[in-house]
Amino acid sequence: MKYPLTLVPILERAGKLFGRVEIVSRCPDKSLHRYTYADFYRRARALAEALQRAGLRPGDRVATLMWNHHAHLEAYFGIPVAGGVVHTLNLRLHAGDLAYIVNHAQDRFLIVDDVLLPLYEKFKDQVGVERVMVVPLSGQTPPYESYESFLVGASGQFSYPELDEEQAAGLCFTSGTTGRPKGVLYSHRALAVHTLACALSGTMGIAQQDVMLAVVPMFHANAWGWPYLGALVGAKQALPGPHLDAESLLDLFQSEQVTAVAGVPTIMLGILQALEKEPGRWKLTPGMRMVVGGAAAPEAMIRRFDQLGIRVVHAWGMTEMTPMGTVCELKSYMEDWPEEARYEVRAKQGLPAPFVEIRAVNERGEVPWDATTQGELQVRGPWIAARYYKLPEEQNRWTQDGWFRTGDVATIDPEGYVKIVDRTKDLIKSGGEWISSVELETTLMGHPEVREAAVIAVPHPKWGERPLAVVVRKDGTRVAAEELREFLTPRVAKWWLPDAFVFVEEIPRTSAGKFMKSRLREQFRDWKWEA
Ligand code: ADP
């Protein structure tokens, strides 16, 4: 049959088959909001109906400015099944950028958390949103229409409009660490197929029995597909709300018996530090899985989590890729490999997900899968964007033969595992040769006294550029530059050794929690190298 791949069957499945499974959200006051997929189903459909009554036309954008919680999950489904496009706004952006994004997307409606109203109010006069619904999370009556009364307006008699699988369902802008934020539109089909692929045991491997917790924000790259994935398989979801510090997260892991989490390395490093600092304080579910991506997961982190009984699964993706690209699980026969070899594989970004085609290309063409030759990683597949939203001038990110240029430099090994060497713009070019900042960082973060390390290129009179390492020490430690240089010496090529180590209290972050290297490069642009 020609059957459209949309989000409707996923919502129906969650409501009809898993109605008793819980969805737990952390509120701003730290209390827990609990309800079930049955409640979620009813309310997501009520939202869809209320939007239609409010005059939503097919393809209209409805923006969300929200933390991870049940109402955001309702928006993830209710908006697209009504024929609208859920446009997740990144609440860590500057008000000026948000105004630009809302205007570029021409959002008609906005659903916003009451606790985020001060942010909305900073740009509300610069945008033309028709109607604003406020989610009352803190119990106070907001000075706008309440999301709750908006839902009450629905009769409960909702029928889905006819949806084409190619129709847009979601919209997300890349965080824009370089240039203006660029919009990526997701079709129903892309989201449906991506969700199916995410559930496989070789990828995110989530089953009904799991308790999932996406630390990755729902305003960032579909929260890696987890909200849709949870509904598809009927897994309990725990949503952290605005409380993303290690202790709050660990409390939630414990109280909800979480079995699978997803987030960026910086957050997970914080969790690791808390667990190592107070052994025994939290009782976590044995065999917990932790999908880590968004930036390279240091091998030392993977090892240390293993010692605590938590299995890190490394993954790579991009907003332009819905976002799943590769996920790293060992193949059956690799389980017998020596420990060193297993960790070497597990620290890579992994195998391409089903339906994602990969190739790495350099000046001479496609590079061999030999684990050493580097090239720009290019991808294509059913959930890879074909263009940016209303930005025809950016079409050079796609090749003539239809592949997306990721801007990441990678090697691919004979087994098909991708290793990200760097972002093109973060590579360090010293004396005409490339140095991988990622490799230096992940190695440095293996030093027991280093909490975080970012390595950047700084202009150098003789070599063009040389690496400078910006390091955050662990609390109460005093490691010095000389010791770090000695630590790196047997582990990387001699000419890769950073020429300077700068110790700081913290490394600036992007809105997605990654190291903001563009800011560091600016900060150290005029660095004076010692003669
Ligand atoms: P932003 O561009 O705002 O950071 P994305 O989340 O789309 O937004 O970032 C995608 C980029 O993040 C990739 O192109 C890559 O450079 C980096 N990245 C993602 N996952 C990994 C990973 N596991 N290892 C190294 N880099 C990663």
Atom of ligand 1 nearest to the CA of 420: 25
Distance 42 CA to ligand 1 centre (A): 36
Atom of ligand 1 nearest to the CA of 321: 7
Tell me the mean pLDDT in the region 82-98: 95
Whether 434 is catalytic = yes
> Is the Cβ atom of 408 under 6 angstroms away from ligand 1?
yes
Q: Give the integer Cα–Cα distance in Å for 343 and 444.
A: 16
In DSSP notation, 209-238 reads T-EEEE-S-TTSGGGGGHHHHHHHHT-EEE
Q: Which candidate in 165, 256, 299, 320 is catalytic?
A: 320
**Of the candidates 421, 416, 338, 337, the residue with the CA atom closest to the CA atom of residue 374:** 421
Q: Which two tokens stand for residue 310?
A: 């938590």
Q: Which candidate in 174, 259, 326, 510 is catalytic?
A: 174
pLDDT, residue 315, reads 98
CA distances from 175 to 221, 318, 511 (A): 10, 11, 7
DSSP count for the chain of H helices, then E strands: 15, 26
Residue 179 falls in which region: left (phi positive, over 0), alpha (psi -120 to 50) or beta? left
Whether 529 is catalytic = no
Q: Give the integer Cα–Cα distance in Å for 493 and 428.
A: 14
CB neighbours of residue 511 within 10 Å: 19
> Could you tell me if 384 and 404 are in contact, meaning their C-beta atoms sit under 8 angstroms apart?
yes
pLDDT category at 140 given cuts 50, 70, 90 is confident
Three-state DSSP state, 366: strand
pTM (2 d.p.) = 0.94
Q: Which candidate in 30, 283, 390, 429 is catalytic?
A: 429
pLDDT, residue 512, reads 81
Distance 295 CA to ligand 1 centre (A): 5
Q: Which two tokens stand for residue 515?
A: 């190291």
pLDDT tens figures, 110-120: 999 999 999 99
Query: What pairs with residue 289 in β-bridges?
Result: 260, 311
Packing angle of the helix pair 246-255, 265-277 (nearest 10 deg): 80
Distance 514 CA to ligand 1 centre (A): 9
pLDDT, residue 530, reads 84
**Ligand 1 binding pocket mutation candidate from 203, 321, 383, 420 (most atoms within 8 A of CB):** 420
Q: Give the integer Cα–Cα distance in Å for 496 and 488.
A: 9
239 pLDDT higher than 70: yes
Q: Give the integer Cα–Cα distance in Å for 416 and 53.
A: 50
Atom of ligand 1 nearest to the CA of 293: 23
> Is the Cβ atom of 423 under 6 angstroms away from ligand 1?
yes
Whether 494 is catalytic = no
When mean pLDDT is compared across 1-5, 142-146, 248-252, 436-440, the lowest value belongs to 142-146
> Is the Cβ atom of 436 under 6 angstroms away from ligand 1?
no
pLDDT, residue 442, reads 95
Atom of ligand 1 nearest to the CA of 320: 7
> Is the Cβ atom of 512 under 6 angstroms away from ligand 1?
yes
Distance 385 CA to ligand 1 centre (A): 15
Parallel, antiparallel or unpaired: strands 211-214 and 433-435: unpaired
Three-state DSSP state, 259: coil
> Could you tell me if 214 and 259 are in contact, meaning their C-beta atoms sit under 8 angstroms apart?
no
pLDDT, residue 178, reads 59
Q: Kindly list the structural domains of the chain, giving each domain's residue range(s) and its CATH number in brackets, ordered by start.
A: 8-18+35-189 (3.40.50.12780), 428-523 (3.30.300.30)
pLDDT, residue 146, reads 96
> Is the Cβ atom of 174 under 6 angstroms away from ligand 1?
yes
Q: Give the integer Cα–Cα distance in Å for 520 and 243.
A: 27
> Is the Cβ atom of 254 under 6 angstroms away from ligand 1?
no
Nearest residue (by CA) to ligand 1, atom 6, is 318
pLDDT category at 143 given cuts 50, 70, 90 is confident
Name every residue whose Cβ is closer than 8 Å to that of residue 513 and which is 6 or more positions away in sequence: 263, 264, 266, 267, 294
Sign of torsion over alpha carbons 446, 452, 454, 455:
negative
516 pLDDT higher than 80: yes
**Is the pLDDT higher at 524 or at 140?**
524
> Is the Cβ atom of 64 under 6 angstroms away from ligand 1?
no
Q: Where are the alpha helices (DSSP H) in 322-420?
A: 339-346
Tell me the mean pLDDT in the region 250-277: 96
Q: Which two tokens stand for residue 432?
A: 């005409």
Tell me the mean pLDDT in the region 131-144: 91
> Is the Cβ atom of 318 under 6 angstroms away from ligand 1?
yes
Whether 530 is catalytic = no
Q: Which H helix or E strand runs over 448?
A: none
pLDDT tens figures, 453-487: 999 999 999 999 999 999 999 989 999 999 999 99
CB neighbours of residue 111 within 10 Å: 26
Sign of torsion over alpha carbons 102, 108, 114, 118:
positive
pLDDT tens figures, 9-40: 999 999 999 999 999 999 999 999 999 999 99
**Of the candidates 25, 23, 26, 27, the residue with the CA atom closest to the CA atom of residue 14:** 23
In terms of Cβ atoms closer than 10 Å to its own Cβ (0-12, 13-18, 19+), residue 179 is exposed
Nearest residue (by CA) to ligand 1, atom 12, is 294
Distance 264 CA to ligand 1 centre (A): 10
- Name the residue type at position 275: L
> Is the Cβ atom of 296 under 6 angstroms away from ligand 1?
yes
Q: Which candidate in 36, 177, 373, 434 is catalytic?
A: 434
Beta strands across the sheet bearing 22-26: 32-36, 22-26, 236-239, 211-214, 260-263, 289-292, 311-317, 324-327, 351-352
Distance 499 CA to ligand 1 centre (A): 26
pLDDT tens figures, 148-207: 999 998 998 999 999 999 999 999 998 755 567 899 999 999 999 999 999 999 999 999
Distance of alpha carbon 337 from its chain centroid, rounded? 31
